[in-house]
Amino acid sequence: MRSSNRFESHAGLFNLCIVVLIAVNSRLIIENLMKYGLLIRAGFWFSARSLRDWPLLMCCLTLPAFPLGAFMVEKLAYRKYIPEKLVIFLHVIITTATIVYPVLVIIKCDSAVLSGFVLMILDCILWLKLVSYAHTNYDIRALSKTVDKDDLRSSYLDPDNMKGVSFKSLVYFMVAPTLCYQQSYPRTACIRKGWVIRQLIKCLIFTGLMGFIIEQYINPIVKNSQHPLKGNLLNALERVLKLSVPTLYVWLCMFYCFFHLWLNILAELLRFGDREFYKDWWNAKTVEEYWRMWNMPVHKWMVRHIYFPCIRNGLPKGVAVFISFLTSAIFHELLVAVPCHSFKFWAFLGIMLQIPLVILTKYLQNKFRNTMVGNMIFWFFFCIFGQPMCILLYYHDVMNRKVRTE
């Protein structure tokens, strides 16, 4: 009687799961409220302490110098004033400086974690854009040379891509919600103002919710924890599991705010046509699928500037994937370790650990032909285990460092 295989026969049990989830969460909210009261303070959003980080703001405001430098290099290269090798060398210097300069500022200033993190995010986006800019312009120049040599083939080429470097297209690329440079993008006809306002309001609400969850739920849990690798194992497990639920909600809020709301708002304001900022990663059947779907701007950048160049240079697919994950791991480490002033490679290891998970979930997917197993493993490693573990590891490193320096 219970062996019926149709999905409908268990629809009620799924509803039960949701009801139990709501009940358990409500109880945890009440418990938290009875234990701590409301923790949100008026000074949470604007505190005098964040003014201490003005060098970071200055650093942020000087960042546009790098794309300007890259533009001048391209202009010179286009007019063939400087040889190709010097162009590459100058671009390497500019992109390296783009990364090194804010890292040094953050380390020197001993800045707060949040402001450092925001600067590093902006900086990494800039780096990715500059690499794409240099790489694409290099390809266009190489292409136009073959066109010069062999006029017959010019009919195959898109004339749009063959125009000279323009300052306007660089500025548009720098603000547009994409990491892959093109001289022109598909554009929408107009800006839907009412829609933008609605999305902005949603964005504000969900950012507020995110801040509230962090202050009210994540902070007390993290403060009451011990270093997850040093204390009692059972205790650490309890903390990780307790942390996993609010972390998951913050992650979902963050994803919704940034990838769904903010990037769409930006695209709408810039009349940017391509709105594929994410695919349905929540259904990912393997870990690889997740990494291909959750962040389309970075994924497209990776494919265009890392994966395909590797393949074109004769590397096997597996090595190309490995190099992509390695790049990702280095940037995740930079993003997290620099603002935390703690280079312990947890984020790096976290991303590199994805490679065995990719292989494992692919194997399971082939073996069971069941979409649920891989998806659940992904959710477990990503949200239940991975993120809370990273938060705890970095939190205790930051705290230990503070204790030592004070």
Task: From residue 98, give the alpha-carbon distance in Å to each of 63, 84, 129, 376.
Answer: 7, 21, 11, 39
Min CB(278)–its own copies separation in Å: 8
**Which among 50, 52, 185, 174 has a CA at the least distance from the CA of 123?**
174
Amino acid at 143: L
Q: Are 334 and 103 in contact (CB under 8 A)?
A: yes
Binding to its own copies by CB under 8 A, coded x per residue (else -) over 334-373, reads -------------------------------------xx-
Decide whether 10 or 401 has the Cβ nearer to its own copies: 10
Residues 6+ apart with CB under 8 A from 216: 32, 36, 38, 39, 40
In the complex with its own copies, the residue whose CB is nearer, 16 or 68, is 16
Least CB distance to its own copies at residue 385 (A): 9
Which member of 165, 179, 203, 245 binds its own copies (CB under 8 A)? 245
**What is the C-alpha to C-alpha distance for residues 128 and 31, in angstroms, rounded to an integer?**
44
Span interacting with its own copies, options 24-32, 76-84, 318-326, 344-352, rule CB under 8 A: 24-32
Which residues within the stretch 249-288 sit at the binding site for its own copies (CB under 8 A)? 260, 275, 278, 280-284
Among 109, 122, 147, 248, binds its own copies (CB under 8 A): 248
Do residues 361 and 287 lie in contact, with contact meaning Cβ atoms separated by under 8 Å? Answer: yes
Amino acid, single-letter form, for residue 86: L
Tell which one of 196, 303, 379, 398 touches its own copies (CB under 8 A): 379
Instruction: Give dist(CA 332, CA 345) in Å, integer.
Output: 10
Residue 351: both structure tokens together: 């991303």
Tokens (6 digits) for 281: 């990663």
Q: Which is nearer to its own copies, 105 or 284 (CB)?
A: 284
Nearer to its own copies, 75 or 227 (CB): 227
Task: Candidates 47, 62, 96, 235: give the one binding its own copies (CB under 8 A).
Answer: 235
C-alpha torsion 388→389→395→397, nearest 10: -170
Q: Which is nearer to its own copies, 266 or 398 (CB)?
A: 266
Q: What are the residues whose beta carbons fall under 8 Å from the beta carbon of 190, sequence distance 6 or more?
A: 271
Instruction: Specify the stretch interacting with its own copies by CB under 8 A; choose among 28-36, 93-101, 204-212, 350-358.
Output: 28-36
CB 248, min distance to its own copies, A: 7
Angle between helix 167-175 and 113-149 (nearest 10): 140
At closest approach, how far in Å is the CB of 50 from its own copies? 33
CA distance 235 to 293: 35
Helices 113-149 and 65-78, packing angle to 10 deg: 10
- 34 is a site residue for its own copies (CB under 8 A): yes
Considering beta carbons, is residue 95 or 375 the nearer one to its own copies?
Answer: 375
SS3 state at 230:
coil
Please tell me whether residue 187 adopts helix, strand or coil conformation. Answer: strand
- Are residues 238 and 221 in contact, defined by beta-carbon separation less than 8 angstroms? no
The Cα–Cα gap between 321 and 329 comes to: 12
Q: Which of 91, 305, 332, 396 is catalytic?
A: 332
For residue 85, the Cα-to-chain-centroid distance in whole angstroms is 32
Active site residue 332: yes
Q: How far is the CB of 392 from its own copies (least distance, A)?
A: 14
Would you say 109 or 364 has its CB closer to its own copies? 364
Q: Number of residues in contact with its own copies, rule: CB under 8 A?
A: 50
Decide if residue 224 touches its own copies (CB under 8 A).
no
Q: How far is the CB of 245 from its own copies (least distance, A)?
A: 6
The minimum distance between CB 22 and its own copies, in angstroms, equals 8
300 binds its own copies (CB under 8 A): no
Binding residues (CB under 8 A) for its own copies: these are 1-2, 4, 8-21, 23-24, 26-27, 30-31, 33-34, 234-235, 237-238, 241-242, 244-245, 248, 260, 275, 278, 280-284, 371-372, 375-376, 379-380, 383-384
Catalytic residues: 332
